[in-house]
Amino acid sequence: MKVDLKRLLDIVGAATGIFLLLPLFVIIAVLIAADSKGSVFFKQKRVGLNMIDFHLLKFRTMYTNVTCSSLLTIGNRDNRITRVGYWLRKYKLDELPQLINVFRGDMSLVGPRPEVRKYVNLYDDQQRYVLSIKPGITDWASVQFFNESELLEKADDPENYYIQNIIPIKISQNLKYVMKHDIFTDLKIIWLTLSKIIIN
């Protein structure tokens, strides 16, 4: 029987991460609950493998009573973000629950970051090829656009800038990954992502 090394790495990595980080999960949950009203977790529909929607999990970083006029986070001090949420986003800790998505098989540790359908609907046929593999927690584009919200803050029209300038580069990076990737590539991307978080 052929072993899917990528899926094996996902299962082992996600299970190990959840087990080791469980105390941190509890601490974050308590901080979120003490800081603002609402659920500890945030679920959002994203487009995954073969254009199928799934619920991406994150720790909640925004107030529940705000009007989400934009799907994008603009700058580090977006007034929709809670005090605890600011630090969770700064060190990407809000992304940790996606290890559950990986363990369940919705996502991979490494793969094209999943988008909301609003933006996926703008893809052309070639760009949709990024949906031929599972989305991931991190990818080459995540490393390149680590401080994406800061770039958007400087733009006159953040959403248009995202659509016209950032999405095409992300897709280009992801298409290269889809065409050529292996376990060593995944490990390199994970290492570069962790390095970005540490020096941020």
The domain locations on the chain are: 5-199
Q: Which has more pLDDT, 75 or 17?
A: 17
Per-residue pLDDT, 72: 72
- Are 58 and 41 spatial neighbours (Cβ–Cβ below 8 Å)? yes
Chain segment 109-150, per-residue pLDDT in tens: 999 999 999 999 999 999 999 999 999 999 999 999 988 888
- What's the rounded Cα separation, in Å, for the pair 60 and 21? 17
- Here the tokens at position 69 are 């006029």
**Considering only CA atoms, which of 87, 78, 17, 19 is closest in space to residue 59?**
87
The SS3 assignment for 134 reads: coil
Chain segment 72-111, per-residue pLDDT in tens: 776 666 788 999 999 999 899 999 999 999 999 999 999 9
Other CB atoms closer than 10 Å to residue 45's CB: what's the count?
12
Share of the chain above pLDDT 70, in %: 93
Amino acid at 145: F
Strands 41-47 and 53-59: antiparallel
Share of the chain above pLDDT 90, in %: 78
> What's the rounded mean pLDDT across residues 7-21?
96
Per-residue pLDDT, 2: 54
**Considering only CA atoms, which of 143, 91, 133, 127 is closest in space to residue 112?**
133
pLDDT at 71 over 90: no
Handedness of CA 21, 85, 118, 173 (dihedral sign): negative
- What's the rounded Cα separation, in Å, for the pair 171 and 178? 10
